[in-house]
Amino acid sequence: MNQTVTKASAVISPLGDSALVITFGDSIQYDIHKQIKTCKDSIELNPFPGFIECVPAFTNLTIFYNPLEVVAAVKKKEKKEFVSPFEVVSSTLQSKLENEQTEKELAHRTVSIPVCYGGEYGPDLEYVARHHNLTPEEVISIHSEGEYLAYMIGFAPGFPFLGGLSEKIATSRRPSPRTSIPAGSVGIAGMQTGVYPISTPGGWQLIGQTPVKLFLPEQTPPSLLQAGDIVKFEPISKEEYQEMQAKEGEK
């Protein structure tokens, strides 16, 4: 498999015949996220011929492209008989990475998400509290006082993987996943927290639920949250939850 190592220590590898992956590291950390976000923004601001989209993850960025358009653009410009789409795109991105400036601070959008904690909406809140010798109220306080970085969107449409959870409430996944989790459920898994945007199986510890819709298929983009967003959770009562849910249903 052909690979390109850039001066920025990023590794570019092919992914099939119409995509490539730029790997920036092997651990979840803000500096790597910053490189990924900076590269993504740069590509989307000045896309190369044939570019389709970027998909950020914890440690890498996947770039999808149309190989026919890549080849056509190069042949038109350089009159070459044989062109490797991967080599063309890889060379373009390698140059971009080597000249990328990552000293600037990232601009993060902050999104506040209301959550009704515990009871029928957070069936695992009591377990998380007992596991850490805390009260449910203390778990709610710790969780809602944090600020969480959306490192990536995945698993299910609009599902945010949020880093920054306090070690005081970090809890392993359930030993046996649930076959169906309600949309809007807020969960904990290890050092991460997240929100299930649609009803789906899952093994995270559920501590609350939001009436806000995270997956919006009729909009562009269809996800309320994007990689790089800062998320804050706001505790609400059961009555407030039901009132907000009714309003969401009217939209």
Identify whether the C-beta of residue 114 lies closer than 8 Å to the C-beta of residue 242: no
At 97-115, the pLDDT tens digits run 887 766 678 889 999 999 9
Among 76-90, 120-134, 144-158, 199-213, the least confident range: 76-90
Q: How much of the chain is helix, strand and coil, in % rounded to 5?
A: 30, 30, 40
For every residue of 200-243, DSSP letters joined together read EEE-SEEEEE-SS--B-TTSSSSBS--TT-EEEEEE--HHHHHH
* Residue 25 predicted with pLDDT over 70: yes
Banded model confidence at residue 232, pLDDT cuts 50, 70, 90: very high
At 42-58, the pLDDT tens digits run 999 999 999 999 999 99
Q: CA-based angle 58:61:62, to the nearest 5?
A: 125
Average pLDDT, the chain: 92
Banded model confidence at residue 76, pLDDT cuts 50, 70, 90: confident
Residue 234 vs residues 32, 207, 226: alpha-carbon distances, Å: 28, 13, 19
Residue 215 vs residues 131, 157, 220: alpha-carbon distances, Å: 32, 6, 11
Banded model confidence at residue 247, pLDDT cuts 50, 70, 90: confident
Banded model confidence at residue 177, pLDDT cuts 50, 70, 90: very high
Checking DSSP bridges between strand 148-153 and strand 185-189, what pairing results, if any?
A: unpaired
Q: CA-based angle 114:119:122, to the nearest 5?
A: 55
As a whole number of angstroms, the distance between CA 128 and CA 172 comes to 9
DSSP 198: S
**Phi first, then psi: what are they for 192, rounded to 5°?**
-120, 155
Identify whether the C-beta of residue 172 lies closer than 8 Å to the C-beta of residue 187: no
